[in-house]
Amino acid sequence: MIGFLEKFGVNGGLVLAGAGIVIIIILFQFVDFSSSRAFGFMVATAPIWLPITTFFLFFEFWMYYVRKFFDLAQGRVSLEILIPQDVFKSPVAMETVLTQLYQTASPDNHVQTYWDGKNPPRTGLEIISDGGNVRFIVNTVRRKIKHIAEVHLYAQYPGIEVRELPIDYTAAIRWDPDKFQVFSLHFGLRQPDVYPIKTYVDYELNSNQKEEEKTDPITTITEILGSIGPGEHIWFQFLIETHRKGEFKTGSLRAKSDWKDDFEKEIQKIIATASARDTNAEFPVPKMQMLTDDEKEKIAALERSRGKYPFKTNIRVIYATENEKYNPGERIGAIITSFFNFNDFNRNQFGLRWRTDFDWNWWQDPTGRKRLNWKKAELSDYKKRRYVPRTGDDNGSILTTEELATLFHLPGQVAATPTLGRIPSTRGEAPPNLPTAN
């Protein structure tokens, strides 16, 4: 119901707050709180309801607090990947790197969860353009994960160079509405997470194709990024953290089953739909023979995804530029359509979940103040690699390493974007002083 109302510009939080106020008013109408008997009952039962109410009110706040300080203690670093002239590796290489980033941070005890705030690290896979200069960035935790990322990037892409940025590239844009315009978009999956998008396997990039025969969906993103002018900035950000089973030991008040259980449910649903077509009760056709080619392909894709490592993923794109160069009509449309190459209408597609704009400006934000506050918060969250859901269906998606490697990998010569920076010579091996991952 809340999600339906939000489509018409209604704030879900305000609806819940209003409903709560109405319930309280009704309660006061039917219960005589002025009587000493009712008041005495509330006081007598306070040791029961007050701790429970307080616990639920402050649990989320406490978990956010301890996890925030745990993350701050780990530190963060931005690693830029300098791409050589020739990259002959398929996205399988990047999937291997992402597999190594699957760190559950499983706590040894409840103290680590509820006092130390131990939680899975968050990594930002970022493809950015500053004035048309396209770059690949991995923003991750300095402790342990930085070393793992470096080691395995060099292992899978021997010709690259990985350099630590002394100052994060986001420092180029500061919050100054008198000088800069900022537009943010959130994306998510339209169908259940178990259904995969169109991946590099579907594009046959895992086969030994000739470079000139390859069709790489990421080239649409790099071309859009390479086409913007001086003073314009577009940042694609894929925030990932390990998806794990929810239980009290890991900081969840309710048990959350592993998403692998959902695969079997969806497969059985497809088979049940196919079985319903059989009208011959006397000589029923075997269920698998009733499946159409599309249904068989869908089940095969589900089975392949079930064997991959899953990451909770939030997708955000920022468009920022100087006021006089602000061109949302052209840039925002191009950003939205850049995800079309990853859509498969038989399985899953990306959809726009939220943006720093309104459908009904005249009554949703007549003063423009809310829009400015959103833009300021989004720019700050991007820099902090933090994600705040803005609507009921803006809670992120679960993507596998195969899907993430399709969205973020080092393109070969098929990506002819002239502003995609490539280093003139390749490095034969990783630096000898590179720390090793434990």
What are the backbone angles phi and psi of residue 261, rounded to the nearest 5°?
A: -65, -30
Predicted confidence (pLDDT) per residue in 357-398, tens digit: 887 776 777 787 888 999 999 999 999 999 999 888 898 999
In this prediction, residue 86 carries a pLDDT of 78
Single-letter amino acid code for the residue at 264 = E
Q: Whose structure tokens read 């840039």?
A: 331
Encoded amino acid at 105, one letter: A
Within 10 A of 133 (CB to CB), how many other CB atoms are there?
15
pLDDT at 426 exceeding the cut of 80: no
Please give the residue range of the domain that contains residue 143: 75-257+294-423
- Amino acid occupying residue 315: I
Residue 182 lies inside a defined structural domain of this protein: yes
Specify the higher pLDDT residue, 263 or 212. Answer: 263
Cα(407)–Cα(398) distance, integer angstroms: 13
How deeply is 314 buried, as exposed, middle or buried, from its count of CB atoms within 10 A (0-12, 13-18, 19+)?
buried
Domain membership flag for residue 58: no
DSSP, residue by residue, 120-176: ---EEEEEEEETTEEEEEEEEETTTHHHHHHHHHHHH-TT-EEEE-SS-GGGG--S-
Q: Minimum mean pLDDT among 169-183, 216-230, 259-273: which range?
A: 259-273
* Closest-CA residue to 134 (of 47, 212, 51, 223): 223
Residue 2: its pLDDT value, please? 52
pLDDT at 13: 59
- Domain membership of residue 125 (yes or no) is yes
Across residues 106-114, what is the average pLDDT?
82
263 located within any domain: no
Average pLDDT over residues 267-280: 78
Residue 435: per-residue pLDDT: 56
CA dihedral 46, 49, 54, 59 (to 10 degrees): 150
| pLDDT reading at 329 higher than 80 | yes
> What burial class does residue 81 get, using C-beta atoms within 10 Å of its C-beta: 0-12 exposed, 13-18 middle, 19+ buried?
middle
Please give the tally of structural domains in the chain. 1
Which pLDDT does position 247 carry in this prediction? 80
The answer to whether residue 46 is domain-embedded is no
In a domain, 287, yes or no: no
Contact 168, 139 (CB under 8 A): yes
Q: What is the tens place of the pLDDT at every residue in 33-62?
A: 555 666 676 777 777 777 777 777 788 888
309 pLDDT higher than 60:
yes
Q: What rounded mean pLDDT belongs to the chain?
A: 84
Mapping DSSP to helix (H, G, I), strand (E, B) and coil, where does residue 257 land?
A: coil
Tell me the C-alpha to C-alpha distance, in Å, between residue 392 and each of 10, 57, 173, 395. Answer: 11, 20, 29, 7
pLDDT above 90 as % of the chain: 49
Tokens standing for 383? 């820099």
pLDDT above 60: residue 9 = no
Asked if residue 215 has pLDDT above 90, the reply is: no
Pick left, alpha or beta for residue 317 (phi over 0 → left; psi -120 to 50 → alpha; otherwise beta). beta
Is the pLDDT assigned to residue 18 strictly greater than 80? no
| Per-residue pLDDT, 372 | 92
Which of helix, strand or coil describes residue 304?
helix
For residue 220, being part of any structural domain is answered with yes
The pLDDT of 142-167, averaged and rounded, is 93
Residue 305 lies in a domain: yes
Q: Note the pLDDT of residue 287.
A: 65
List of residues 6+ apart from 58 with CB closer than 8 A: none
The crossing angle, in degrees rounded to 10, of helices 293-306 and 260-275 is 170
Residue with tokens 């000589």: 283
**Which of 25-29, 217-221, 245-249 is predicted least confidently?**
25-29
Structure confidence at residue 246 (pLDDT): 79
The pTM score is 0.84
Residue 125's φ and ψ, nearest 5 degrees, are -95, 115
